[in-house]
Amino acid sequence: MCIGQLGNLLPHVALSANLAQHLMPAWGLSAAEGGLMASGYAFGYMLAVPVLTTLTDRIDARLVLLGGSVVSGLATVAFGIFAQGFWSGTIIWSLAGLGFAGAYMPGLKALTDRLPAGDTSRAVTLYTSSFSVGVGLSFLIAQVLADGWGWRTAFYVTGIGPIAMVVACLLIERRSPAPRVGRLLNFAPVFANREALGYIFGYGAHCFELYGIRTWLVGFWTYVVAHQGAPSWLSPVLMSFCFAVISMPASILGNEAALKFGRHRAITVVMIASACVALVIGLNATAPAWVLALLLMIYGLTVPADSGALTAGMSAAAVSEHRGATLALHSTVGFGLSAIGAWGTGVALDAAGGPQSARGWSLVFIVLAAGIALGPLALLWARISGPGKHVSTPR
């Protein structure tokens, strides 16, 4: 499943990896337009995931995963063939996000449905943290191909990646959930589960920060290379790849810390640390390149360190018969705020001077810090509000 997910993630940041260097100049886009186009992926995901993930409480999640992987790959290839500007690019990239809505959380459901009873925290964390390796490969492959053969080639090739998950779906065993009756989109039991809601809203803050930095990381480092004299080997390709790949050990270690010291405490510490690092970067956007490179690598550790712990906490807090609905709300909130993060940071960049302005990049990181700082408040709200009730509905 993790190997299949690597393939599914090859298209994931193909647009963000080429946004500042290729797509915005070619189509004359502002940072706000570029951010909005990138957020189309998260918006398409947000619209589809409530239905697709909740559907896994009724049919084998493997089938949803299979269909979503196929749509994601085809839409990515279609972007390379048909995208000609802001509107066509946003619409097609939203379809790619819609496909990924059937490929990520349904994949997690397909995995947890086949795990033995007991603590699944480490398995869930391995699955979620392998996300970072896939994103790193997406950054690397998309930029290398675009620089060598044009940005359209990057979409053609990365669009082939989801075939890996198609193969995985065909290899894993079939398993169907117990038949259910009632409304498909019934989130009342999830909203009654305060413990799960705390992790869900915390995940939203995490996604705002994560998608915001992934959208503009290449653009920021392109600015640093042009204005602060970074050495030629310290390229946007290398920086974005390293930033993404170190996320995997960071997420795993974050979850281990949560198991050892307590989940709420560990997540809160990580989020506050991440906000502080973002502020330091924002207030020092004109620092020497080696200083910013070091700070970005630290940020690459703090940004994802809460991801596995948040998702594992949500999964553990979910009532088994409503796990699909809980995963659906988790993903809807997360990717809804991802879309706001990508667009909002683009608006901030334009408002403070644009991609060639140090003030613009300073404001981007200040916005990211403000977003993740809301995460600890969500966890505190869940704790002081009490665990809530687990509401059951007839099967």
Average pLDDT value for the chain: 89
The pLDDT assigned to 390 comes to: 44
User: pLDDT, tens digit, for every residue of 249-301?
Assistant: 888 888 889 888 999 999 999 999 999 999 999 999 999 999 999 999 999 99
User: pLDDT, tens digit, for every residue of 93-121?
Assistant: 999 999 999 998 888 888 888 877 665 66
Q: How confident is the model at residue 10 (pLDDT cuts 50, 70, 90)?
A: very high
Residue ranges making up the domain that contains 149 = 2-385
Measured from the Cβ of residue 70, the count of other Cβ atoms closer than 10 Å reads 18
Structural domains counted in the chain: 1
Is the confidence at residue 376, as pLDDT, over 50? yes
* 392 located within any domain: no
Report the alpha-carbon angle 254-332-349, nearest 5: 75
* 291 located within any domain: yes
* 368 located within any domain: yes
* 394 located within any domain: no
For residues 264 and 314, is the Cβ–Cβ distance under 8 A?
Answer: no
User: 329 is written with which tokens?
Assistant: 């709300």
CATH of the domain at 196: 1.20.1250.20
* 395 located within any domain: no
Closest CA to 81 of 160, 151, 152, 162: 152
The pLDDT assigned to 389 comes to: 45
Average pLDDT over residues 54-71: 90
User: pLDDT, tens digit, for every residue of 347-366?
Assistant: 999 999 999 999 999 999 99
Backbone angles phi, psi at 193, to 5 degrees: -95, 90
User: pLDDT, tens digit, for every residue of 307-333?
Assistant: 888 988 898 888 877 777 888 889 889
* 220 located within any domain: yes
State the virtual CA torsion across 348, 354, 355, 357 in degrees, nearest 10. Answer: -100
For residues 112 and 124, give the distance between their C-alpha atoms in angstroms, rounded to a whole number: 8
User: pLDDT, tens digit, for every residue of 29-59?
Assistant: 999 999 999 999 999 999 998 888 778 878 8
User: pLDDT, tens digit, for every residue of 217-242?
Assistant: 999 999 999 998 778 888 999 999 99
* 319 located within any domain: yes
pTM of the model: 0.84
pLDDT > 90: percent of the chain: 64
* 21 located within any domain: yes
